[in-house]
Structure 1
Protein backbone atom coordinates (compact mmCIF):
# COMPACT_ATOMS: atom_id res chain seq x y z
CA UNK A 1 0.00 0.00 0.00
CA UNK A 2 1.64 3.25 -1.09
CA UNK A 3 1.47 6.38 0.97
CA UNK A 4 -0.52 8.30 -1.66
CA UNK A 5 -3.52 5.97 -1.30
CA UNK A 6 -3.42 6.15 2.49
CA UNK A 7 -3.22 9.94 2.28
CA UNK A 8 -6.21 10.07 -0.12
CA UNK A 9 -8.24 7.86 2.20
CA UNK A 10 -7.49 10.10 5.20
CA UNK A 11 -8.48 13.17 3.15
CA UNK A 12 -11.84 11.60 2.28
CA UNK A 13 -12.40 10.73 5.94
CA UNK A 14 -11.59 14.27 7.08
CA UNK A 15 -13.75 15.78 4.32
CA UNK A 16 -16.72 13.70 5.47
CA UNK A 17 -16.24 14.88 9.05
CA UNK A 18 -15.90 18.54 8.07
CA UNK A 19 -18.92 18.33 5.77
CA UNK A 20 -21.00 16.78 8.53
CA UNK A 21 -20.00 19.43 11.06
CA UNK A 22 -20.75 22.22 8.57
CA UNK A 23 -24.13 20.69 7.76
CA UNK A 24 -25.00 20.45 11.45
CA UNK A 25 -24.84 24.26 11.69
CA UNK A 26 -26.20 25.15 8.25
CA UNK A 27 -29.28 22.96 8.53
CA UNK A 28 -29.94 23.09 12.25
CA UNK A 29 -33.27 24.87 11.90
CA UNK A 30 -34.80 22.23 9.61
CA UNK A 31 -33.37 19.07 11.17
CA UNK A 32 -35.10 16.83 13.72
CA UNK A 33 -33.62 16.96 17.21
CA UNK A 34 -31.67 13.67 16.99
CA UNK A 35 -29.59 13.67 13.78
CA UNK A 36 -26.65 11.77 15.33
CA UNK A 37 -26.44 8.03 15.94
CA UNK A 38 -23.90 5.85 17.70
CA UNK A 39 -24.09 2.21 16.59
CA UNK A 40 -22.35 -0.81 18.06
CA UNK A 41 -22.52 -4.00 16.03
CA UNK A 42 -20.89 -7.40 15.60
CA UNK A 43 -20.82 -9.58 12.48
CA UNK A 44 -19.81 -13.01 11.23
CA UNK A 45 -17.97 -13.79 7.99
CA UNK A 46 -19.63 -15.47 5.02
CA UNK A 47 -17.53 -16.76 2.10
CA UNK A 48 -20.47 -16.34 -0.27
CA UNK A 49 -21.40 -13.52 -2.65
CA UNK A 50 -23.83 -10.68 -2.07
CA UNK A 51 -26.49 -12.26 -4.27
CA UNK A 52 -26.26 -15.45 -2.17
CA UNK A 53 -26.84 -13.40 0.98
CA UNK A 54 -29.91 -11.68 -0.45
CA UNK A 55 -31.38 -15.04 -1.55
CA UNK A 56 -30.54 -16.67 1.82
CA UNK A 57 -28.16 -19.21 0.26
CA UNK A 58 -25.10 -18.32 2.27
CA UNK A 59 -22.96 -20.08 4.88
CA UNK A 60 -20.80 -18.86 7.75
CA UNK A 61 -17.20 -19.32 8.89
CA UNK A 62 -15.46 -18.66 12.22
CA UNK A 63 -14.29 -15.11 11.69
CA UNK A 64 -15.90 -12.06 13.25
CA UNK A 65 -15.79 -8.31 13.60
CA UNK A 66 -16.88 -5.86 16.27
CA UNK A 67 -17.45 -2.25 15.29
CA UNK A 68 -18.44 1.16 16.57
CA UNK A 69 -19.94 3.65 14.10
CA UNK A 70 -20.75 7.35 14.31
CA UNK A 71 -23.52 8.43 11.94
CA UNK A 72 -24.88 11.89 11.10
CA UNK A 73 -28.01 12.70 9.09
CA UNK A 74 -27.12 15.86 7.18
CA UNK A 75 -30.24 16.10 5.01
CA UNK A 76 -33.88 14.98 5.13
CA UNK A 77 -35.35 16.41 1.89
CA UNK A 78 -38.64 14.57 2.39
CA UNK A 79 -40.44 12.33 4.88
CA UNK A 80 -39.33 9.36 2.79
CA UNK A 81 -35.63 9.99 2.21
CA UNK A 82 -32.61 11.00 4.27
CA UNK A 83 -28.89 11.42 3.57
CA UNK A 84 -26.18 10.57 6.11
CA UNK A 85 -22.46 10.18 6.53
CA UNK A 86 -20.84 7.56 8.73
CA UNK A 87 -17.39 6.64 10.01
CA UNK A 88 -16.56 3.26 11.54
CA UNK A 89 -13.83 1.72 13.64
CA UNK A 90 -13.67 -2.06 13.18
CA UNK A 91 -11.77 -4.86 14.95
CA UNK A 92 -11.49 -8.25 13.25
CA UNK A 93 -10.87 -11.46 15.19
CA UNK A 94 -11.02 -15.19 14.51
CA UNK A 95 -9.44 -16.25 11.22
CA UNK A 96 -8.02 -12.77 10.70
CA UNK A 97 -6.76 -10.25 13.21
CA UNK A 98 -6.54 -6.59 12.25
CA UNK A 99 -8.16 -3.17 12.52
CA UNK A 100 -10.17 -1.49 9.77
CA UNK A 101 -11.76 1.92 9.28
CA UNK A 102 -14.54 2.91 6.88
CA UNK A 103 -16.04 6.20 5.70
CA UNK A 104 -19.23 6.36 3.68
CA UNK A 105 -22.31 8.27 2.53
CA UNK A 106 -25.74 6.64 3.00
CA UNK A 107 -29.20 7.08 1.50
CA UNK A 108 -31.98 6.01 3.88
CA UNK A 109 -35.63 5.23 3.08
CA UNK A 110 -38.13 5.82 5.90
CA UNK A 111 -41.63 5.13 4.57
CA UNK A 112 -43.04 1.63 4.92
CA UNK A 113 -46.74 0.69 5.22
CA UNK A 114 -46.24 -1.05 8.59
CA UNK A 115 -44.45 1.85 10.32
CA UNK A 116 -47.36 2.40 12.71
CA UNK A 117 -46.52 -0.99 14.24
CA UNK A 118 -42.74 -1.19 13.73
CA UNK A 119 -40.77 1.84 12.51
CA UNK A 120 -38.51 0.54 9.74
CA UNK A 121 -35.73 2.12 7.70
CA UNK A 122 -33.59 0.72 4.90
CA UNK A 123 -30.22 2.24 4.01
CA UNK A 124 -27.53 1.72 1.38
CA UNK A 125 -24.08 3.21 1.91
CA UNK A 126 -21.10 3.67 -0.40
CA UNK A 127 -17.57 4.67 0.55
CA UNK A 128 -14.01 3.54 1.22
CA UNK A 129 -12.58 0.86 3.49
CA UNK A 130 -9.00 0.73 4.76
CA UNK A 131 -7.60 -2.35 6.53
CA UNK A 132 -4.45 -1.77 8.59
CA UNK A 133 -3.21 -5.21 7.52
CA UNK A 134 -3.89 -7.16 4.32
CA UNK A 135 -7.00 -9.23 5.18
CA UNK A 136 -6.26 -12.92 5.25
CA UNK A 137 -9.75 -13.95 4.15
CA UNK A 138 -9.51 -11.83 1.00
CA UNK A 139 -6.52 -13.85 -0.24
CA UNK A 140 -8.86 -16.59 -1.47
CA UNK A 141 -9.92 -14.34 -4.36
CA UNK A 142 -6.65 -12.51 -4.97
CA UNK A 143 -3.05 -13.49 -4.23
CA UNK A 144 -2.18 -9.95 -3.16
CA UNK A 145 -5.23 -8.35 -1.50
CA UNK A 146 -5.44 -4.59 -1.17
CA UNK A 147 -5.72 -2.76 2.11
CA UNK A 148 -7.79 -0.02 0.46
CA UNK A 149 -11.03 -1.21 -1.16
CA UNK A 150 -14.52 -0.03 -1.95
CA UNK A 151 -17.06 -0.30 0.87
CA UNK A 152 -20.78 -1.07 0.64
CA UNK A 153 -23.20 -1.12 3.56
CA UNK A 154 -26.76 -2.40 3.64
CA UNK A 155 -28.71 -1.71 6.82
CA UNK A 156 -32.22 -2.49 8.07
CA UNK A 157 -33.34 -0.81 11.31
CA UNK A 158 -36.36 -1.53 13.51
CA UNK A 159 -37.74 0.48 16.45
CA UNK A 160 -41.09 0.94 18.26
CA UNK A 161 -41.60 4.34 16.57
CA UNK A 162 -39.64 6.69 14.34
CA UNK A 163 -38.76 9.05 17.20
CA UNK A 164 -37.37 6.25 19.41
CA UNK A 165 -33.80 6.91 20.48
CA UNK A 166 -32.88 3.22 20.65
CA UNK A 167 -33.15 0.95 17.62
CA UNK A 168 -32.12 -2.48 16.37
CA UNK A 169 -29.78 -2.66 13.37
CA UNK A 170 -28.95 -5.54 11.05
CA UNK A 171 -26.13 -4.97 8.57
CA UNK A 172 -24.22 -6.38 5.61
CA UNK A 173 -20.59 -5.22 5.62
CA UNK A 174 -19.05 -5.58 2.13
CA UNK A 175 -15.49 -4.83 0.95
CA UNK A 176 -14.60 -5.35 -2.71
CA UNK A 177 -12.29 -4.31 -5.52
CA UNK A 178 -15.24 -3.41 -7.80
CA UNK A 179 -14.25 -5.81 -10.60
CA UNK A 180 -10.59 -4.81 -10.51
CA UNK A 181 -10.99 -1.04 -10.07
CA UNK A 182 -8.97 -1.12 -6.82
CA UNK A 183 -5.45 -2.46 -7.48
CA UNK A 184 -6.80 -5.15 -9.82
CA UNK A 185 -8.66 -6.87 -6.96
CA UNK A 186 -11.78 -8.73 -8.13
CA UNK A 187 -12.75 -10.35 -4.84
CA UNK A 188 -13.49 -9.06 -1.36
CA UNK A 189 -15.27 -10.08 1.82
CA UNK A 190 -18.75 -10.09 3.32
CA UNK A 191 -19.87 -9.99 6.96
CA UNK A 192 -23.45 -10.23 8.24
CA UNK A 193 -24.37 -8.96 11.66
CA UNK A 194 -26.54 -7.01 14.02
CA UNK A 195 -26.29 -4.37 16.68
CA UNK A 196 -27.94 -1.56 18.58
CA UNK A 197 -28.04 2.13 17.74
CA UNK A 198 -28.75 5.22 19.86
CA UNK A 199 -29.94 8.53 18.38
CA UNK A 200 -28.98 11.81 20.01
Structure 2
Protein backbone atom coordinates (compact mmCIF):
# COMPACT_ATOMS: atom_id res chain seq x y z
CA UNK A 1 0.00 0.00 0.00
CA UNK A 2 2.87 2.39 0.75
CA UNK A 3 4.31 1.91 -2.72
CA UNK A 4 0.87 2.51 -4.31
CA UNK A 5 0.34 5.64 -2.20
CA UNK A 6 3.72 7.18 -3.03
CA UNK A 7 3.41 6.32 -6.74
CA UNK A 8 -0.07 7.85 -6.79
CA UNK A 9 1.09 10.97 -4.99
CA UNK A 10 4.09 11.43 -7.29
CA UNK A 11 1.97 10.93 -10.43
CA UNK A 12 -0.63 13.39 -9.15
CA UNK A 13 1.92 16.08 -8.31
CA UNK A 14 3.67 15.76 -11.68
CA UNK A 15 0.41 15.84 -13.61
CA UNK A 16 -1.13 18.66 -11.59
CA UNK A 17 1.87 20.82 -12.35
CA UNK A 18 1.00 20.80 -16.06
CA UNK A 19 -2.82 20.84 -15.94
CA UNK A 20 -4.51 24.08 -17.00
CA UNK A 21 -6.35 26.05 -14.36
CA UNK A 22 -10.11 26.38 -14.84
CA UNK A 23 -12.69 28.90 -13.74
CA UNK A 24 -12.90 30.05 -10.12
CA UNK A 25 -14.46 27.72 -7.58
CA UNK A 26 -14.45 24.75 -9.94
CA UNK A 27 -15.88 22.35 -7.39
CA UNK A 28 -18.97 24.49 -6.80
CA UNK A 29 -19.58 25.88 -10.29
CA UNK A 30 -19.47 22.54 -12.08
CA UNK A 31 -21.84 20.03 -10.45
CA UNK A 32 -21.18 17.19 -12.93
CA UNK A 33 -18.07 15.04 -13.01
CA UNK A 34 -16.86 12.34 -15.41
CA UNK A 35 -14.27 9.93 -13.97
CA UNK A 36 -12.27 7.19 -15.65
CA UNK A 37 -10.22 4.82 -13.52
CA UNK A 38 -8.45 1.50 -13.58
CA UNK A 39 -7.95 -0.85 -10.65
CA UNK A 40 -6.30 -4.12 -9.66
CA UNK A 41 -7.80 -6.88 -7.51
CA UNK A 42 -6.59 -7.53 -3.98
CA UNK A 43 -7.72 -10.66 -2.11
CA UNK A 44 -7.29 -8.88 1.21
CA UNK A 45 -10.13 -7.66 3.39
CA UNK A 46 -11.26 -4.05 3.22
CA UNK A 47 -9.77 -3.08 6.60
CA UNK A 48 -6.41 -4.52 5.54
CA UNK A 49 -6.30 -2.22 2.53
CA UNK A 50 -6.36 0.80 4.83
CA UNK A 51 -4.12 -0.43 7.64
CA UNK A 52 -1.80 -3.22 6.45
CA UNK A 53 0.33 -4.26 3.52
CA UNK A 54 -1.69 -6.16 0.98
CA UNK A 55 -1.17 -8.22 -2.16
CA UNK A 56 -2.49 -7.97 -5.70
CA UNK A 57 -3.60 -10.57 -8.24
CA UNK A 58 -3.90 -10.58 -12.04
CA UNK A 59 -7.45 -9.31 -12.33
CA UNK A 60 -8.32 -5.78 -13.33
CA UNK A 61 -11.16 -3.41 -14.02
CA UNK A 62 -11.66 -0.32 -16.13
CA UNK A 63 -14.48 1.99 -15.08
CA UNK A 64 -16.27 5.05 -16.37
CA UNK A 65 -18.35 6.95 -13.81
CA UNK A 66 -20.56 10.00 -14.03
CA UNK A 67 -21.69 11.84 -10.95
CA UNK A 68 -23.61 14.94 -10.01
CA UNK A 69 -23.65 16.96 -6.84
CA UNK A 70 -27.28 17.30 -5.71
CA UNK A 71 -26.99 18.90 -2.25
CA UNK A 72 -24.62 20.56 0.22
CA UNK A 73 -24.53 20.37 4.00
CA UNK A 74 -22.72 23.57 4.85
CA UNK A 75 -19.71 24.67 2.83
CA UNK A 76 -17.69 21.48 3.35
CA UNK A 77 -19.90 18.44 2.73
CA UNK A 78 -21.34 17.67 -0.71
CA UNK A 79 -23.84 14.94 -1.58
CA UNK A 80 -23.58 13.32 -5.01
CA UNK A 81 -25.27 10.63 -7.05
CA UNK A 82 -23.00 8.41 -9.16
CA UNK A 83 -23.46 5.76 -11.84
CA UNK A 84 -20.64 3.48 -12.99
CA UNK A 85 -20.04 1.22 -15.98
CA UNK A 86 -17.26 -1.29 -15.20
CA UNK A 87 -15.49 -3.87 -17.37
CA UNK A 88 -13.60 -6.69 -15.62
CA UNK A 89 -10.76 -8.53 -17.34
CA UNK A 90 -7.95 -10.88 -16.37
CA UNK A 91 -9.08 -13.70 -14.08
CA UNK A 92 -12.73 -12.76 -14.54
CA UNK A 93 -14.57 -11.42 -17.59
CA UNK A 94 -17.85 -9.62 -17.03
CA UNK A 95 -19.50 -6.22 -16.83
CA UNK A 96 -20.64 -4.49 -13.64
CA UNK A 97 -23.13 -1.65 -13.11
CA UNK A 98 -23.11 0.42 -9.91
CA UNK A 99 -25.42 3.14 -8.57
CA UNK A 100 -24.54 4.98 -5.39
CA UNK A 101 -24.88 8.06 -3.20
CA UNK A 102 -21.60 9.74 -2.27
CA UNK A 103 -20.74 11.98 0.71
CA UNK A 104 -17.71 14.17 -0.15
CA UNK A 105 -15.72 16.32 2.29
CA UNK A 106 -14.07 19.35 0.64
CA UNK A 107 -12.54 21.44 3.43
CA UNK A 108 -8.83 20.93 4.10
CA UNK A 109 -6.33 23.55 5.33
CA UNK A 110 -4.00 23.00 2.33
CA UNK A 111 -6.67 23.46 -0.38
CA UNK A 112 -5.06 26.74 -1.48
CA UNK A 113 -2.10 24.60 -2.68
CA UNK A 114 -3.72 21.24 -3.53
CA UNK A 115 -7.51 21.04 -3.71
CA UNK A 116 -8.38 17.82 -1.89
CA UNK A 117 -11.54 15.84 -1.23
CA UNK A 118 -12.32 12.60 0.59
CA UNK A 119 -15.44 10.65 -0.30
CA UNK A 120 -17.39 7.60 0.82
CA UNK A 121 -20.10 6.15 -1.41
CA UNK A 122 -22.81 3.58 -0.67
CA UNK A 123 -25.03 1.83 -3.19
CA UNK A 124 -25.75 -1.33 -5.15
CA UNK A 125 -23.72 -3.34 -7.64
CA UNK A 126 -24.97 -5.68 -10.38
CA UNK A 127 -22.54 -8.04 -12.14
CA UNK A 128 -23.62 -9.55 -15.47
CA UNK A 129 -22.42 -12.96 -14.19
CA UNK A 130 -21.30 -14.31 -10.84
CA UNK A 131 -17.74 -12.98 -10.40
CA UNK A 132 -15.17 -15.80 -10.32
CA UNK A 133 -13.05 -14.07 -7.70
CA UNK A 134 -16.02 -13.94 -5.32
CA UNK A 135 -16.48 -17.73 -5.62
CA UNK A 136 -14.23 -19.18 -2.93
CA UNK A 137 -14.45 -21.31 0.19
CA UNK A 138 -17.89 -22.66 -0.85
CA UNK A 139 -19.45 -19.30 -0.02
CA UNK A 140 -22.69 -18.01 -1.47
CA UNK A 141 -22.22 -15.76 -4.49
CA UNK A 142 -24.66 -13.26 -5.96
CA UNK A 143 -24.74 -10.98 -8.98
CA UNK A 144 -26.44 -8.29 -6.85
CA UNK A 145 -24.36 -7.01 -3.93
CA UNK A 146 -23.73 -3.91 -1.88
CA UNK A 147 -21.22 -1.41 -3.26
CA UNK A 148 -18.84 0.83 -1.30
CA UNK A 149 -16.56 3.51 -2.71
CA UNK A 150 -13.69 5.25 -0.96
CA UNK A 151 -12.01 8.07 -2.88
CA UNK A 152 -9.26 10.64 -2.46
CA UNK A 153 -9.05 13.40 -5.08
CA UNK A 154 -6.22 15.87 -5.65
CA UNK A 155 -6.29 18.85 -8.00
CA UNK A 156 -4.65 22.13 -8.77
CA UNK A 157 -6.73 24.87 -7.08
CA UNK A 158 -9.51 26.09 -9.39
CA UNK A 159 -8.86 23.31 -11.92
CA UNK A 160 -11.66 21.28 -13.45
CA UNK A 161 -9.28 18.29 -13.86
CA UNK A 162 -8.37 16.09 -10.90
CA UNK A 163 -6.61 12.84 -9.94
CA UNK A 164 -8.59 10.14 -8.18
CA UNK A 165 -7.46 7.27 -5.95
CA UNK A 166 -10.29 4.78 -5.40
CA UNK A 167 -11.18 1.62 -3.52
CA UNK A 168 -13.91 -0.35 -5.31
CA UNK A 169 -15.66 -2.76 -2.88
CA UNK A 170 -18.49 -5.25 -3.48
CA UNK A 171 -19.84 -7.31 -0.60
CA UNK A 172 -22.85 -9.09 0.85
CA UNK A 173 -22.70 -6.97 4.05
CA UNK A 174 -22.21 -9.96 6.37
CA UNK A 175 -25.00 -11.96 4.71
CA UNK A 176 -27.55 -9.17 4.21
CA UNK A 177 -27.48 -9.64 0.41
CA UNK A 178 -28.60 -13.19 -0.48
CA UNK A 179 -26.61 -14.72 2.39
CA UNK A 180 -23.30 -13.64 0.82
CA UNK A 181 -20.56 -13.15 3.39
CA UNK A 182 -17.71 -12.37 0.99
CA UNK A 183 -17.05 -9.98 -1.85
CA UNK A 184 -14.19 -8.35 -3.73
CA UNK A 185 -11.86 -5.37 -3.46
CA UNK A 186 -10.05 -3.42 -6.17
CA UNK A 187 -7.57 -0.59 -5.60
CA UNK A 188 -7.02 1.92 -8.38
CA UNK A 189 -6.51 5.40 -9.70
CA UNK A 190 -7.78 7.57 -12.49
CA UNK A 191 -8.63 11.07 -13.53
CA UNK A 192 -11.78 13.13 -13.62
CA UNK A 193 -13.18 16.29 -15.18
CA UNK A 194 -15.83 18.63 -13.71
CA UNK A 195 -18.37 20.24 -15.99
1:72 aligns with 2:68: yes
What is the correspondence of 1:73-152 to structure 2 with a 5 Å cutoff? 73-152=69-148
Higher relative contact order at CA 8 Å, sep ≥6: structure 1 or structure 2?
2
Kept after mapping to 1: 8 A contact 2:35/2:191: yes
Q: How far apart, CA to CA, are the structure 1 residues paired with 2:46 and 2:73?
A: 30
1:194 aligns with 2:184: no
Instruction: Pick one of 159, 165, 178 that aligns with 1:164.
Output: 159
Deviation at 1:77, TM superposition (A): 2.8
Gaps of 5+ in 1: 1-30
SS at match of 1:51: helix
Kept after mapping to 1: 8 A contact 2:139/2:182: no
Q: How far apart, CA to CA, are the structure 2 residues paired with 1:146 and 1:80?
A: 37
RMSD, matched Cα: 1.2
Task: Please identify runs of 4+ aligned residues in structure 1 that moved more than 2 A.
Answer: 141-144
Aligned length: 169
Question: Cα deviations across residues 9-39 of structure 1 (Å, max 9, x unaligned)?
Answer: xxxxxxxxxxxxxxxxxxxxxx932000000
TM-score normalised per structure 2: 0.84
